[in-house]
């Protein structure tokens, strides 16, 4: 398969490239790294990405949100996550469905805060929950046999140095184990699933 990974420079992205790259051709994309450049907050940039990428069998993506105490969050702070992680991934699907082969797949990234909230994570919880709902709903209407799933990993072990203070009591997940869920989504047959990796 020919697989586009948006956000491949991140901890999970590296692990997904290692897992899928052993068996498939990988194209990487990001705002400032990767073989191709994309700003997922811009539909025009997303369209240019797909036009450059050519035929694709699968697309995997991620995005960013703001972490801050709820009392300090302003509308613009929520809008950041809505525009980047939520609509960035949704727009990758909306534009990408035109370019993806028949039977191809999208794998979006959510996270454990979709059901297990922490302080300073209200934006992440909101966005992750919305993405999960989008995946389950979009799956029943995907064109040309295309599939869509989400991976919802726990806090990643390799990122605990930075995120550990926020995730006390959470059991970290090795990035390589999270990457297996992306392989299941890409190489399997299921659609409309949210794969929790805890």
The structure's pTM equals 0.97
Query: How many folded domains does the chain comprise?
Result: 1
Q: Are strands 2-6 and 25-30 parallel, antiparallel or unpaired?
A: parallel
Amino acid 170: pLDDT: 97
CB 38 within 8 A of CB 29: yes
CB 50 within 8 A of CB 96: yes
- Alpha carbon distance 188, 147 (integer Å): 10
- CATH number of the domain enclosing 18: 3.40.50.720
Rounded average pLDDT over 21-29: 98
Strand partners for 36:
29
Range of the domain at 19: 2-197
- Alpha carbon distance 55, 167 (integer Å): 40
DSSP category for residue 150: E
Amino acid 51: pLDDT: 98
């Amino acid at each position: 398969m020919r697989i586009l990974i948006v956000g491949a420079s991140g901890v999970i992205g590296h692990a997904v490239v290692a897992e899928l790259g052993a068996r498939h051709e990988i194209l990487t994309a990001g705002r400032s790294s990767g073989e191709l450049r994309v700003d997922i907050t811009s539909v025009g940039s997303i369209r240019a990405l797909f036009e450059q990428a050519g035929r694709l069998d699968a697309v995997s993506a991620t995005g960013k949100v703001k972490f801050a105490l709820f009392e300090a969050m302003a509308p613009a702070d929520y809008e950041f996550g809505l525009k980047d992680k939520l609509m960035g991934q949704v727009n990758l699907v909306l534009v990408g469905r035109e370019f993806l082969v028949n039977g191809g797949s999208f794998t979006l990234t959510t996270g454990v805060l979709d059901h297990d909230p922490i302080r300073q994570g209200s934006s992440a919880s909101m966005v992750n929950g919305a993405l999960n709902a989008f995946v389950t709903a979009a799956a029943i209407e995907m064109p040309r046999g295309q599939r869509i799933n989400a991976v919802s990993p726990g806090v990643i072990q390799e990122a605990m140095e930075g995120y550990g203070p926020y995730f006390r009591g959470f059991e970290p997940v090795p990035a390589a184990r999270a990457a297996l869920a992306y392989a299941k989504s890409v190489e399997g047959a299921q659609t409309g699933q949210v794969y929790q990796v805890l």
